Amino acid sequence: MARVGEIWKKLILACLIIIAIHSTANFLLTKVSNTTTTTTTTLNEREKSVLLKSFNRKVDGTIDVTFNLDVENVKKETGKQITIKQTTEKVQYTPHPPPTIPQVYRGNDICEKNKPTLIIYVHSAPNNIIRRSRLRQTWADNNLFKDKYFQVVFVLGRPSSASVQENIDTENKEYGDIIQGDFKDQYRNLTLKAIFALKWLRDSCPSAKFALKSDDDVFMNVFEIRKLTEEKKYQEDEKFLFCAFYHAKQMPILRNPKTCMKWCVEDYEFPGEVTFPPYCAGLGFLLKTSAVPFLLDNVAKTPFFWIDDVYTTGLLVKNIPNLNIIDMSKKITMNSIEAIKLYKNNDKSLRAPIFILVSSGKQIKTLFKLSYLRLSDEEKKIVNFDVQKYNITTN
């Protein structure tokens, strides 16, 4: 009878183990899966012994999850280590970005040719070919300065359409200014795009002293930006980040699906907080490239978050020694109409914004023309400028 009792005990224990694995796997997978499944499972003490062993996110968007029972308990009761492995198709959350991001277009020789002092990397969507063309015809012309002071690259992911990729292939063959990562180009992958760009900076453009991030719907006054980078204090500053800075408790985390639109943040994606940590507005920021390796070192230590501005300039900058963050909120505006009025004013003492969100190609051309006309004759000497090419009149 004692022998039979032992057998029954082992059978009951095996059932409990299976129930624990099933319940906890469902509970945890609800947190990482993009399915509509919901659960109200409450973990009991036995279920709490089921531990998440590994959580590996692949670049293609799939994720491998391995659950592992407490080793001592399992070995004691069964003599074996029990694991369960499951893969989900769609993922909303991942603890850390992948260590490497495959590239479609590497752009490895871009900096070798020109040795630019400033790299401007522009986040762009694959379909935005017209936007990129407008920028190349104005402030993003790499030949704007005689000494090729800056180099613009456009940072893309993979489009969903093969025909769009063919257009990108043709575009890059003509201009050679695209770096493209092999990940799906979508809003919630902007952090992957940001990390991809930083890794490209570190690996392919180590000679550049400054890096400036922007978006393809932004006008940047590259004449004023050059003046900034040539100031002695910024030349000598070992590590700095120049941006419109949101301070602690300034920016609320939007969680109400009725009002937050595409910026909704689930509780598990950024738990326990009602406001974001301090970070920079993503419209544009300037940094010394000596800070880039420190940002990338922190990627492996920093849980993934899909809002790239918060992740890159808020979470990754933590614990970077001697990083000087300079608030340039007054130099950024999302009111392009007011910016154009300021640029038209002949009073040069009025400091017009240098990062401006625009709504049309016409606004970009207008602001570019006005930014050139505000230069002194001496400042114009370093500009490799053909007024006919840029359709600018001086009267």
How much is the pLDDT for 24? Answer: 39
How much is the pLDDT for 10? Answer: 53
In three-state secondary structure terms, 14 is helix
DSSP state at residue 300: G
pLDDT in tens, 225-242: 999 999 988 888 788 899
Same domain as 132, residue 6: no
pTM: 0.75
pLDDT bracket for residue 134 (50, 70, 90): very high
pLDDT bracket for residue 161 (50, 70, 90): very high
In three-state secondary structure terms, 363 is helix
Same domain as 178, residue 54: no
Please give the average per-residue pLDDT across 299-308, as a whole number. 90
Quick one: CA torsion of 261, 266, 271, 276, rounded to 10 degrees? -10
Same domain as 66, residue 20: yes
Please give the average per-residue pLDDT across 331-342, as a whole number. 91
* Total tally of structural domains belonging to the chain: 2
Residue 388 belongs to some domain of the structure: no
pLDDT in tens, 198-209: 999 999 998 899
C-alpha torsion sign, points 174, 181, 229, 111: negative
Going by C-beta distance under 8 Å and a sequence separation of 6 or more, which residues neighbour residue 104? 158, 180, 181, 182
Domain boundary at 44, 60, 88, which? Answer: 88
Lowest mean pLDDT among 234-248, 267-281, 342-356: 342-356
Distance CA(206)–CA(203), nearest Å, equals: 7
Helix (H), strand (E) at residue 298: none
Residue 392 belongs to some domain of the structure: no
Residue 144 belongs to some domain of the structure: yes
8 Å CB contact between 105 and 77: no
In the chain, DSSP assigns E strands to 50-57, 63-69, 83-88, 103-105, 118-123, 150-158, 178-184, 210-215, 218-220, 240-246, 279-288, 324-327, 332-333, 355-357
Highest mean pLDDT among 132-146, 223-237, 268-282 belongs to 132-146
Helical segments of 176-307, H only? 190-204, 222-230, 232-236, 292-297
8 Å CB contact between 111 and 208: yes
Domain boundary at 29, 63, 88, which? Answer: 88
pLDDT in tens, 166-179: 999 999 999 999 99
How much is the pLDDT for 103? Answer: 72
Residue 286 belongs to some domain of the structure: yes
Quick one: CA torsion of 117, 239, 206, 355, rounded to 10 degrees? -50
How much is the pLDDT for 232? Answer: 87
DSSP state at residue 355: E
Instruction: List the one residue out of 186, 201, 192, 167 whose CA is nearest residue 125.
Output: 186
Looking up tokens 């890096």 gives 211
Same domain as 125, residue 78: no
Distance CA(244)–CA(282), nearest Å, equals: 8
DSSP state at residue 277: P
Same domain as 112, residue 84: no
Residue 97 belongs to some domain of the structure: no
Distance CA(387)–CA(384), nearest Å, equals: 10
Looking up tokens 């020694």 gives 321
Distance CA(54)–CA(75), nearest Å, equals: 19
Residue 51 belongs to some domain of the structure: yes
Residue 386 belongs to some domain of the structure: no
Same domain as 107, residue 238: yes
Same domain as 273, residue 199: yes
- Take residue 49 and report the two structure tokens written for it: 């012994």
Give whole-number Cα distances, 24 to 68, 76, 84, 89, 95, in Å. 11, 21, 11, 19, 18
pLDDT in tens, 110-120: 888 888 999 99
Supply the DSSP string of 325-352, one letter for each residue: EEE-GGGEES-HHHHHHHHH---TTS--
In three-state secondary structure terms, 130 is helix
Same domain as 63, residue 129: no
Same domain as 270, residue 195: yes
Same domain as 65, residue 113: no
Please give the average per-residue pLDDT across 301-318, as a whole number. 92
Same domain as 182, residue 57: no
- The CATH number for 118's domain is 3.90.550.50
Quick one: CA torsion of 381, 384, 388, 392, rounded to 10 degrees? -60
Domain boundary at 32, 59, 88, which? Answer: 88
Residue 393 belongs to some domain of the structure: no
Residue 154 structural domain: 103-380
Same domain as 231, residue 142: yes
pLDDT in tens, 22-50: 443 333 333 333 333 333 333 333 333 33
Give whole-number Cα distances, 50 to 45, 71, 100, in Å. 10, 10, 30
